[in-house]
């Protein structure tokens, strides 16, 4: 096992990795940008080093500085977390040429799966069905039209070097081709450094289901079951759960085998995820392979009992998987809500700022992965994910109820969060039945709106009374202590709380 | 005196609680008095059943924040609510002297001409310069926050009189960006 690991990331995932390292008795090195000098991952790690200004390109994406610190601190390996450098072949290459173990798959795998058309070809050749579309990057409008006519509208144009829903545009008919191509190319260029795009058919309301894969360097490869990730907004996952409400034992076996087949086709090592789109009739297609630790890995940990991050580090250190496919059991049900500092009442605009009060949820079956604390200032420079709230239950309904309670308990003041949005989804009848697809949020939830009008004052009375009483309870500590009248208080006592008038 | 001022969707109401401690409570909203019964004690975010003059309502407080507006759901309808406690303590008298956003009734002309940042972020693109004519909806600049880009558009037509920011600059929420006249 490694003696020391550098964590090239921040936020909750840095904490998650540090915790895993501590359990493995591995020393940790944290790196941080200017904006993160009060971040928790600095405190939790054994050593920490500044890597530059706040913008990611000058800090968490700065390969040279990160490698230098790894060498200076004698770190034997680097864990990239997710995002930032996690899937950048150049970074894995830099690690390799400096004799540092990159905790993730090989450079070859990163390259192959990072190129979406290449990934499609490899998977098709390996007998894993892919979404109908172009097998190469498309050059011009005619080519897009040709493919679209063949597979049928609507289609997507997607960035060849993209992923995660960025650099993609929907085309409903041939009139929409030029504009969609232009926008997709622009976004692809600015986000991924290449304007190359390809075409994929838009499936009709599929589910997004992915399989967690674990592969060691000795050729052992298993899967840890599926995650249902259909609850998305603008192709960004919001809620994940496992098992999927639609899954059967037979289908899990079939899909799990395909996921492993896909990973074997590229000699995959480390932890990874094969994503599929699943149609109503349970037919499924390969979507993409995520060659990293994923945000939502925690729910799989909750039902399988396997610490995925520890396994990932052990695999990188050359250890063999300690179990076989038959040893894997899924027990109960788990779901995760991604809590972002965005305002769901104002079109999800980012809401960075200082957390004035913080009180996380708790109790049996609840897990909060977050780097927040009271007084912490959420920077504007990085992703808006501020917490992962996960709930486990013996069955789906218990997990859902636990999640509802946990969402009610969770208190983050000072910034807007997506907690009210999650509450709304958990109340939805279709969601309760597990009847979801990737356009569920768009079709059934939309956005939260603040009522402009009200009908009668009784409602106002109701809410006012509740509010006032609520505040009163809050002030007096649940109304047990008699309320102290401000007027009877000595004015000198007030001086302590408020500045004297000048 | 337990007198409160509550602003519901920007309309102000005076609320007074009478006979507190005895159920049913009497609540005065503006000039009307209601009989209010709570079915359970109020805790954070728990839906509460409440009877107002015998009619049942479900009330849920989604978010509490001392200063910012928060959201209350009454029978599945959402309201934006701002709360002000009215008690004449020395500190609060001081507060009422200082004009706050809540008490400013009309925006000054200068304010109406100023386009401000609706979120904190970095100016990644500036599309206008001094003297440019703009139409309603024209992009003035692009703000980036938390890896998301948001366009700031012109709320009215006019000529750019002043550009308060430059590309790369960090701005706070509410900070002036462009003045259009």
Is B23 an interface residue toward A (CB < 8 Å)? no
Is B12 an interface residue toward A (CB < 8 Å)? no
Q: Are A267 and A260 in contact (CB under 8 A)?
A: no
Give Cβ neighbours of residue A469 (< 8 Å, ≥ 6 apart): B17, B38, B42
Q: Measured between alpha carbons, how far is residue B72 from residues A100, A417, A463, B75 in Å?
A: 54, 15, 7, 10
Q: Are A229 and A240 in contact (CB under 8 A)?
A: yes
Buried b or exposed e, range A61-77, using 16+ CB within 10 angstroms: bbeebbbebbeebebbb
Nearest residue of chain A to residue B67 (CA atoms) = A414
Residue A19 — φ and ψ, nearest 5°?
-60, -45
The CATH number for B146's domain is 2.40.50.100
* Residue scoring higher pLDDT (B49 or A279): A279
The pLDDT-based confidence of B147 (bands split at 50, 70, 90) is: confident
Are B87 and B7 found together in one domain?
A: yes
Cα(A93)–Cα(A85) distance, integer angstroms: 11
Give the residue-averaged pLDDT of A211-233: 97
**Tally of domains within chain B:** 2
Are B18 and B85 found together in one domain?
A: yes
Tokens 């509550």 locate to B6
Q: Check pLDDT > 60 for residue B66.
A: no
For domain A332-448, say whether CATH 3.30.470.20 is its number.
yes
Are B125 and B167 found together in one domain?
A: yes
Are B52 and B125 found together in one domain?
A: no
Is B156 an interface residue toward A (CB < 8 Å)? no
Nearest CB to B94 within list A341, A497, A501? A501
pLDDT for A51 equals: 97
Cβ neighbours, 10 Å, residue A179:
11
The pLDDT-based confidence of A159 (bands split at 50, 70, 90) is: very high
Q: Do A341 and B146 touch (CB under 8 A)?
A: yes
Q: Check pLDDT > 50 for residue B93.
A: no
* Residue scoring higher pLDDT (A206 or B69): A206
Give the residue-averaged pLDDT of A350-354: 94
* Residue scoring higher pLDDT (A432 or B61): A432
pLDDT for A452 equals: 53
Among B97, B123, B155, residue at a domain's last position: B97
Q: Do A459 and B45 touch (CB under 8 A)?
A: no
Q: Check pLDDT > 80 for residue B33.
A: no
Range(s) of the domain holding residue B65? 3-97
Mean pLDDT lowest among A246-250, A256-260, B5-9, B65-69: B65-69
Are B91 and B24 found together in one domain?
A: yes
Q: Which of residues 84-123 of B touch A (CB under 8 A)?
A: 85, 87-91, 94, 118-122
ipTM for the predicted complex: 0.75
Are B42 and B124 found together in one domain?
A: no
Q: Do A454 and B36 touch (CB under 8 A)?
A: no
Nearest CB to A462 within list B59, B119, B148? B59
Is B71 an interface residue toward A (CB < 8 Å)? yes
Are B7 and B93 found together in one domain?
A: yes
User: Which residues of chain A are within 8 Å of residue B15 when distances are taken between CB atoms?
Assistant: 461, 464-465, 468
Residue A189, classified by CB atoms within 10 Å of its CB into exposed (0-12), middle (13-18) or buried (19+), is: middle
User: Which residues of chain B are within 8 Å of residue A461 when distances are taken between CB atoms?
Assistant: 15, 27, 29, 32, 34, 36, 52
**pLDDT above 90 coverage of chain A, percent:** 82
Is B22 an interface residue toward A (CB < 8 Å)? no
> At the topology level of CATH, where does A205-331 sit?
D-amino Acid Aminotransferase; Chain A, domain 1 (3.30.470)
Q: Check pLDDT > 60 for residue A502.
A: no
CATH 3.40.50.20, chain A: domain bounds:
4-103
DSSP states along A201-258: EPPSS-EEEEEEEEE-TTS-EEEEEEEEEEEEETTEEEEEEES-TT--HHHHHHHHHH
Are B12 and B92 found together in one domain?
A: yes
**pLDDT above 70 coverage of chain B, percent:** 71
CATH 3.30.470.20, chain A: domain bounds:
205-331, 332-448
Are B55 and B21 found together in one domain?
A: yes
Q: Do B83 and A465 touch (CB under 8 A)?
A: no
pLDDT for A462 equals: 66
Q: Do A463 and B145 touch (CB under 8 A)?
A: no
Query: What pairing do the DSSP bridges indicate for beta strands B3-8 and B11-18?
Result: antiparallel
- Closest chain B C-alpha to A470 CA, distance in angstroms: 6
Cβ neighbours, 10 Å, residue A346:
14
Q: Do A350 and B148 touch (CB under 8 A)?
A: yes
Q: Do B44 and A453 touch (CB under 8 A)?
A: no
Q: Check pLDDT > 50 for residue B101.
A: no
Cα(A49)–Cα(A157) distance, integer angstroms: 41
Among A10, A185, A292, A402, the active-site one is: A292
Cα(B29)–Cα(B12) distance, integer angstroms: 10
> At the topology level of CATH, where does A132-201 sit?
Dna Ligase; domain 1 (3.30.1490)
The pLDDT-based confidence of A479 (bands split at 50, 70, 90) is: very low
Q: Do A450 and B71 touch (CB under 8 A)?
A: yes
Is B9 an interface residue toward A (CB < 8 Å)? yes
User: Which residues of chain B are within 8 Å of residue A383 when distances are taken between CB atoms?
Assistant: 146-147
The CATH number for B55's domain is 3.30.700.30
* Residue scoring higher pLDDT (B77 or A394): A394
In a domain, B50, yes or no: yes
The pLDDT-based confidence of B40 (bands split at 50, 70, 90) is: low
Are B89 and B113 found together in one domain?
A: no
User: Which residues of chain B are within 8 Å of residue A450 when distances are taken between CB atoms?
Assistant: 9, 71, 78-80
Among B40, B67, B97, residue at a domain's last position: B97
Mean pLDDT lowest among A149-153, A321-325, B70-74, B168-172: B70-74
For domain A4-103, say whether CATH 3.40.50.150 is its number.
no
For residue A350, give both structure tokens. 């980012």
Nearest CB to A352 within list B65, B94, B146? B146
Is B37 an interface residue toward A (CB < 8 Å)? no
Are B88 and B55 found together in one domain?
A: yes
Are B92 and B8 found together in one domain?
A: yes
In a domain, B103, yes or no: no
Q: Check pLDDT > 70 for residue A67.
A: yes
Q: Do A350 and B72 touch (CB under 8 A)?
A: no
Among B72, B97, B122, residue at a domain's last position: B97
For residue A188, give both structure tokens. 């692809």
Q: Check pLDDT > 60 for residue B166.
A: yes
In a domain, B102, yes or no: no
- For this structure, is A292 an active site residue? yes
Average pLDDT, chain B: 75
pLDDT for B62 equals: 64
User: Which residues of chain B are within 8 Å of residue A457 when distances are taken between CB atoms?
Assistant: 29-30, 32
């Amino acid at each position: 096992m490694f003696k020391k690991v550098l964590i090239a990331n921040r936020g909750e995932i840095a904490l998650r990795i540090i915790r895993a390292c501590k359990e493995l008795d591995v020393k940790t090195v944290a790196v941080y940008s200017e904006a993160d000098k009060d971040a928790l991952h600095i405190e939790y790690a054994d050593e920490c080093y500044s890597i530059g200004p706040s913008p990611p390109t000058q800090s968490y994406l700065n390969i040279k500085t990160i490698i230098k610190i790894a060498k200076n601190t004698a770190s034997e390996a680097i864990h990239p977390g997710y995002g930032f450098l996690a899937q950048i072949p150049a970074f894995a290459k830099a690690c390799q040429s400096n004799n540092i173990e990159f905790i993730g798959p090989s450079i070859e795998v990163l390259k192959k799966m990072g190129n979406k058309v290449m990934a499609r070809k490899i998977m098709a050749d390996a007998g894993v069905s892919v979404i109908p579309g172009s097998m190469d990057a498309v050059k011009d409008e005619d080519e897009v039209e040709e493919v679209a006519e063949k597979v049928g509208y609507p289609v997507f144009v997607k960035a060849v070097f993209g992923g995660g829903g960025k650099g993609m545009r929907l085309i409903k008919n041939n009139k929409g081709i030029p504009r969609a191509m232009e926008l997709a190319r622009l976004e692809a260029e600015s986000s991924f450094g290449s304007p190359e795009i390809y075409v994929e058919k838009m499936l009709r309301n599929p589910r997004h289901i992915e399989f967690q894969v674990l592969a060691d360097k000795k050729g052992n490869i298993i899967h840890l079951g599926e995650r249902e990730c259909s609850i998305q907004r603008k192709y960004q996952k919001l809620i994940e759960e496992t098992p999927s409400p639609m899954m059967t034992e037979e289908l899990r076996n079939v899909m799990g085998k395909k996921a492993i087949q896909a990973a074997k086709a590229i000699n995959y090592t480390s932890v990874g995820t094969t994503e599929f789109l699943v149609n109503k009739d349970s037919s499924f297609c390969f979507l993409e392979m995520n060659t990293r630790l994923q945000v939502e890995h925690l729910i799989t940990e909750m039902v399988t009992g396997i610490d995925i991050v520890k396994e990932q580090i052990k695999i990188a250190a050359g250890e063999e998987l300690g179990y076989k496919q038959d040893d894997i059991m899924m027990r109960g049900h788990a779901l995760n809500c991604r809590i972002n500092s965005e305002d769901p009442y104002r079109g999800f605009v980012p809401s960075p700022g200082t957390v004035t009060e913080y009180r996380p949820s708790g109790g049996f079956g609840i897990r909060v992965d977050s780097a927040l604390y009271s007084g912490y200032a959420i920077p504007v420079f990085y992703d808006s994910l501020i917490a992962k709230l996960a709930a486990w239950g013996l069955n789906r309904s218990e997990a859902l109820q636990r999640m509802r309670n946990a969402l009610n308990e969770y208190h983050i003041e000072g910034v807007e969060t997506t907690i009210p949005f999650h509450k709304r989804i958990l109340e939805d009848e279709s969601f309760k039945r597990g009847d979801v697809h990737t356009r569920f949020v768009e079709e059934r939830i939309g956005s939260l709106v603040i009522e402009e009008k009200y009908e009668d004052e009784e409602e106002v009375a109701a809410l006012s009374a509740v509010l006032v009483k609520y505040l009163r309870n809050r002030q007096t500590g649940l109304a047990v202590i008699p309320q102290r009248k401000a007027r009877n208080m000595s004015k000198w006592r007030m001086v302590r709380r408020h500045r004297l008038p000048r | 005196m337990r007198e409160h001022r509550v602003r519901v969707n920007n309309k102000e109401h005076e609320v007074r609680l009478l006979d507190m401690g005895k159920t049913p409570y009497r609540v005065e909203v503006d000039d009307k008095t209601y009989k209010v019964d709570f079915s359970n004690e109020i805790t954070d975010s728990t839906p509460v059943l409440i009877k107002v003059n015998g009619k049942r309502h479900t009330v849920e407080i989604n978010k509490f924040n001392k200063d910012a507006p928060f959201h209350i759901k009454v029978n599945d309808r959402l309201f934006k609510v701002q709360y002000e406690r009215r008690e004449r303590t020395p500190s609060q008298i001081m507060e009422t002297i200082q004009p706050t956003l809540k008490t400013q009734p009309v925006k000054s002309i200068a304010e109406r001409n100023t386009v401000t940042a609706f979120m904190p972020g970095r100016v990644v693109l500036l599309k206008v310069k001094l003297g440019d004519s703009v139409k309603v909806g024209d992009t003035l600049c692009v703000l980036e926050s938390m890896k998301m880009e948001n366009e700031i558009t012109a709320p009215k037509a006019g000529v750019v009189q002043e550009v308060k920011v430059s590309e790369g600059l960090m701005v706070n929420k509410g900070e002036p960006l462009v003045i259009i006249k």
